[in-house]
Amino acid sequence: MSFSLRPAAPADIPAITAIYAHAVTHGTASFELVPPDEEEMARRMAALLEGGFPYLVATRDGAVLGYAYAGPYRPRPAYRNTVENSIYVSPDARRLGVARTLLTALIGECEARGFRQMVAVIGDRESRASLGLHESLGFRLIGIAEAVGYKHGRWLDQILMQKTLGAGSAEPPAVSP
């Protein structure tokens, strides 16, 4: 299956909202319990884009197959060079390379924008596909927060993985807090 990547646009919000709603309702990648509506998803996208963060969609024949974005890892200024990634793929497009392609492009976009570290916050120890994807792209395990979420009738761990971007910590950032 072939697909293409492009920057996300407001017109993608209905598809992005549907993909995320499925993940919230049926999965453990997000610790949200109630899927946000299109207005909230549009607000979140606008905040990320206004903050200079990349937001990408994978499409085929005009349909959104998945999306990925980077956002602030933490809100305090000293964290400004570190991003957290998020990737969601439509259930119909899983196992087709969409997540790998999105994450690879997202890493490149973040490096081009001068970010130095990327953190993946993976919402379940059982998320083997996400853990394997991140590891295959150079992320390393940096921690496990055990039983910090409760969803779908069970306790969930949160797995933290990290990847150095660009020069990493070898030199100061171009803009420091």
Q: How far apart are CA 86 and CA 142, in angstroms?
A: 17
Measured CA distances, 48 to 97, 134, 140 (Å):
25, 22, 25
Enclosing H/E stretch for 102: helix 98-112
**Which CATH entry fits the domain spanning 4-164: 3.40.50.1220, 3.80.30.20, 3.40.630.30, 3.30.720.110?**
3.40.630.30
**pTM attached to this predicted model:** 0.94
Q: Provide the pLDDT for residue 173.
A: 87
Which stretches of the chain score pLDDT less than 50? none
CA proximity to 70, closest of 18, 19, 108: 108
Q: Where are the domains of the chain?
A: 4-164
Burial of 28 (0-12, 13-18, 19+ CB in 10 A): buried
Which residues lie across from 86 on neighbouring strands?
69
Which residues lie across from 164 on neighbouring strands?
117
3-state secondary structure of 133: helix
| Close Cβ partners of 164 (under 8 Å, ≥ 6 residues apart) | 116, 117, 138
CA proximity to 107, closest of 137, 78, 131: 137
69 within 8 A of 115, measured Cβ to Cβ = no
Burial of 104 (0-12, 13-18, 19+ CB in 10 A): middle
87 within 8 A of 100, measured Cβ to Cβ = no
